[in-house]
Amino acid sequence: MAMHGMRGLSVFISDIRNCQNKEQERQRIDKELGNVRNRFKNEKGLSPYEKKKYVWKMLYIYMLGYDVDFGHMEAVSLISAPKYPEKQVGYIVTSCLLNENHDFLRLAINTVRNDIIGRNETFQCLALTMVGNIGGREFAESLAPDVQKLLLSSSCRPLVRKKAALCLLRLYRKNPDVVNVDGWADRMAQLLDERDLGVLTSSMSLLVALVSNNHEAYWSCLPKCVKTLERLARNQDIPQEYTYYGIPSPWLQVKTMRALQYFPTIEDPYTRRTLFEVLQRILMGTDVVKNVNKNNASHAVLFEALALVMHLDAEKEMMSQCVALLGKFIAVREPNIRYLGLENMTRMLMVTDAQEIIKRHQAQIITSLKDPDISIRRRALDLLYGMCDVTNAKDIVEELLQYLSSADFTMREELSLKAAILAEKFAPDLSWYVDVILQLIDKAGDFISDDIWFRVVQFVTNNDDLQVSAYILGEYSHLLARRPGCSPKEIFGILHEKLPTVSTTTIPILLSAYAKILMHTQPPDQELQSQIWAIFNKYESCIDAEIQQRAVEYFALCQKGAALMDILAEMPKFPERKSSLIKRAEYSEADTAEQSAIKLRAQQQPSNALVVTDQPPANGATSPVPVGQLSLAMVPSMITTEDHTSTDPASSQQNGSLTKVDPQHPSADLLGDLLGPLAIEGPPGATVQSEHNAVSRLEGGPDAVDGSAIVPVEEQRNTVQPIGNIAERFHALCLKDSGVLYEDPYIQIGIKAEWRAHHGRLVLFLGNKNTAPLVSVQALMLPPAHLKMELSLVPDTIPPRAQVQCPLEVVNLRPSRDVAVLDFSYKFGTNMVNVKLRLPAVLNKFLQPIPVPAEEFFPQWRSLSGPPLKLQEVVRGVRPMPLPEMANLLNSFRLMICPGLDPNPNNLVASTTFYSESTHAMLCLIRIETDPADRTQLRMTLASGDPTLTFELKEFIKEQLISIPTAPPQSPAPAPAPPPAAQATPQIPPNDPAALLAGLLS
């Protein structure tokens, strides 16, 4: 049954196609959703044909990016339809709409199993495909033996077996124990003798997954892979249907060579010889042809062969053959081949002795750095970074610097980071290094991350050649004073220009630098002195204690004159450790080519010109951030300045530059958590806590208790540093349902959540990132009184590289803003790590946006009259934002904006349903009146049928409007915020149209 049989569906698709704009499309879709919803309400009257039609419509709507939050049951129910067309639709749509944790899916497990063990092979295929795409752990436990049987069965046809192979792969990923069966490896090896190429292709993917985890068990498969490759590449012994432009299944060839790359070596001489013969044939026999498809396919095989040769560390002769090929590739016109040539050359760097031959292509690679295609430029940058050593560092770094001024903004941070690392590692002499860093600051100051600042400080202070000194950037003037453009004043100028845009943690370092520049300027420069003193003066009343202390101290020191040089000179050395920049680079990208370059970087010997001494820290501190140590060096003067440390909010407000701090934090990206390893976002903890403090201070009144209750959660007593900012991760997860909750070098805790009315089902993914087990794993739930939480058993040990899933059931009993905390601990080696993590089971998760038409809204609004069901409050200190942004913010918390209800365009009206056991589904109505003349204040009115809900929701929304997760602690809000009483009287002038309207509405 095809779609042309479904007229209604064709009409709908035509309508969508004819929509002139997004708004029309939305209207058409809303209409259709309403229609489908209505039809499903009376399910009994629906024929299977109709059901099928509606389910396709749902899929279509979902594909266009609209939420389809109903009808899942109907899609799943089609799976048990007796006829093929309905059943097929059921299976396909279910695997598109649902995920593995969906309750409905579990309901279908028996039907699915019956199809798998049944005799109808088309049904078997459908069921295997769906389980292969979305089957979860429970499927793995109940279906694995059946699927294995199908895969190995001699009576089963290939069309079923090929699907069984990939289905088993899915189940294996959900539960690795499914192949912990005696003799499984031998059966796997037998499977590779398969003649059918479909089954062989699928089985090879299964093998790749198995050997990538544990190649030891599958040695017997190695000769079989070589045989398969021989069969394809040499004998071309395959059916015509499987050749692609004359090439025997390029995909199977590639997959087979991929599997071979997971075995560390090939010991058997015969197998090795056979393989090398095949590889040699591929390397020599691949010609450039006119037909694009044939060319691509043959080069796909060629590149895979190159990778395998590199992996096997072949004889030198074959290696130079490979480099020669790659050298040819990076210079061709075809951009795809150029890109892959650069990428594979970067991998080649890992091969012993290859570096020297690669260096011959340096000029060509530098040309690629200016390629019009950003994909190619990135590859060239990685390659240059990887191939840099003492002999070519000067050339390469200077090229990078030159390129920096014209590079795309998206590449500048990475470029400057890489240039800084290379300069540090391979500098032939100190003045060159300093010169490079100064150029970096000059050309890309805005793109330089804090890590570079810290590292420069750390590096220069560590250096033996600089014993005179603790004057960090001040030192530069000493070395460079004779060059044009490098007078102390000019250096001060360059640095000071950056001050308004650097983060709070960097300001103290700049202040130190100023002090040092000043002390080092002989003869003294009066103008410079008064300029710098004025800056110290300004920061003496800064709200940040560290900055304030520095400013006060330096000011005092400067007054005392040159005798105090000694105090500054007593700088302790930093212990040598892995450069935090390299660590950062490791996190910033997980690209394999990139990582190989970094690994190589780490192995290479640095130049001798700038050896960082390895000396234990004098004071025993181990913080990698130098700030703490710098301040320790200043202990003597602290006593005298203690009385200056009280903060003066009034004057801190005048400090305009401070309010703009920290624009370089990567913006909270919607997908960042899911798709990427997170870049380090500065040390967590300190800033976060002060932010919470700031919030609770702002709120005052009854909220202060709640505000401070969550503060200790961020407390870190561990030596293991988390990766990324815990608080930011939490805030991100409050808005979305999956992502990373916590990460450190050993573990990553991911979370996936589903919310249905007052129930929530969360799954914690505990992933061990190491090759050693994590032990004494403990997870303790500390639920607030309004949540019932049940965490399934957490295993005591997480095996190496394994991921454990722990479901957590949540029931919301009543409205509250309190937050649940997970007390999590584990042991790795001698490290005992304990973290307390807030869980994103927050109030807005129990909201369901619902549109309310005007004819229902107004009667509801009127019927809920006055406190405690309807509360009104004037909120001040609101983060100023345009109205659409505020609407988006509310939407993201599942409050549905109802446009058109309020005639005043400055107002927002929203509605939502709140679910809890005590309130059941309860409608909440919200109205926000903004003042276009003053965006920092607004009036909010909230109504619902439950007084606690009204209050809690009001406070919740208020928190969102006042605070921002990434806001600097010194937000420009009026510091002594008037504590807004729970029910403040409206203070809007009587001639305000909004006030008049409010009268009408209430």
Partner 1 sequence: MVNKQGQTRLAQYYEWLTLEERRALEGEIVRKCLARNEQQCSFVEHRNYKIVYRRYASLFFLVGVDNDENELAILEFIHLLVETMDRHFGNVCELDIMFHLEKAHFMLEEMVMNGCIVETSKANILTPVQLLEKT
Pairwise CA distance, residues 856 & 860, whole Å: 6
CB of 65 to partner 1, least distance (A): 5
User: Closer CB to partner 1, residue 6 or residue 571?
Assistant: 6
Sequence-distant (≥ 6) Cβ neighbours of residue 785 within 8 angstroms:
813, 816, 818
Question: What would you report as the CA-atom Rg of the chain, rounded to the nearest whole angstrom?
Answer: 33
> 11: helix, coil or strand?
helix
CB of 211 to partner 1, least distance (A): 13
CB of 444 to partner 1, least distance (A): 21
CB of 423 to partner 1, least distance (A): 25
CB of 375 to partner 1, least distance (A): 5
User: Closer CB to partner 1, residue 127 or residue 518?
Assistant: 127
746 marked ligand binding residue: no
Do 980 and 876 form a contact (C-beta atoms < 8 A)?
yes
Q: In this structure, what token pair is assigned to residue 843?
A: 């109030």
In the Cβ-directed half-sphere of 101, how many Cα atoms lie within 13 Å?
19
49 marked ligand binding residue: yes
Query: Peptide bond preceding 523: is omega within 30 degrees of 0, i.e. cis?
Result: yes
22 marked ligand binding residue: no
Pairwise CA distance, residues 715 & 727, whole Å: 11
Do 337 and 300 form a contact (C-beta atoms < 8 A)?
no
User: Closer CB to partner 1, residue 413 or residue 540?
Assistant: 413
CB of 328 to partner 1, least distance (A): 16
Dihedral (CA of 478, 480, 485, 490) sign? negative
- Give the chain's largest Cα–Cα span: 96
The DSSP letter of residue 241 is G
CB of 695 to partner 1, least distance (A): 26
755 marked ligand binding residue: no
User: Closer CB to partner 1, residue 205 or residue 904?
Assistant: 205
Residue 586 CB neighbour total at 10 angstroms: 18
End-to-end distance of the chain based on CA atoms, in angstroms?
A: 56
Do 541 and 652 form a contact (C-beta atoms < 8 A)?
yes
User: Closer CB to partner 1, residue 167 or residue 777?
Assistant: 167
53 marked ligand binding residue: yes
User: Closer CB to partner 1, residue 167 or residue 680?
Assistant: 167
281 marked ligand binding residue: no
Pairwise CA distance, residues 30 & 23, whole Å: 10
CB of 11 to partner 1, least distance (A): 11
Q: In what order do the strands lie in the sheet with 747-756?
A: 738-743, 747-756, 759-768, 803-812, 787-791
User: Closer CB to partner 1, residue 592 or residue 865?
Assistant: 592
> 742: helix, coil or strand?
strand
> 213: helix, coil or strand?
helix
DSSP conformation letters of 117-156: HSS-HHHHHHHHHHHHHH--HHHHHHHHHHHHHHHH-SSS
User: Closer CB to partner 1, residue 445 or residue 677?
Assistant: 677
User: Closer CB to partner 1, residue 315 or residue 408?
Assistant: 408
User: Closer CB to partner 1, residue 169 or residue 422?
Assistant: 169
Residue 832 CB neighbour total at 10 angstroms: 14
User: Closer CB to partner 1, residue 879 or residue 894?
Assistant: 894
359 marked ligand binding residue: no
Pairwise CA distance, residues 770 & 740, whole Å: 17
Residue 489 burial class via C-beta count within 10 angstroms: exposed 0-12, middle 13-18, buried 19 and up: middle
219 marked ligand binding residue: no
Task: Please report where in the chains the tokens 């068990």 appear, as a residue.
Answer: 217
User: Closer CB to partner 1, residue 617 or residue 666?
Assistant: 666
H or E stretch covering 411: helix 409-426
CB of 347 to partner 1, least distance (A): 11
Q: How, if at all, do strands 896-897 and 759-768 pair?
A: unpaired
Dihedral (CA of 454, 456, 459, 461) sign? negative
Dihedral (CA of 166, 172, 178, 182) sign? positive
CB of 722 to partner 1, least distance (A): 20
Nearest to 230 by CA among 215, 248, 244: 248
Annotated binding residues: 7-8, 49, 53-57
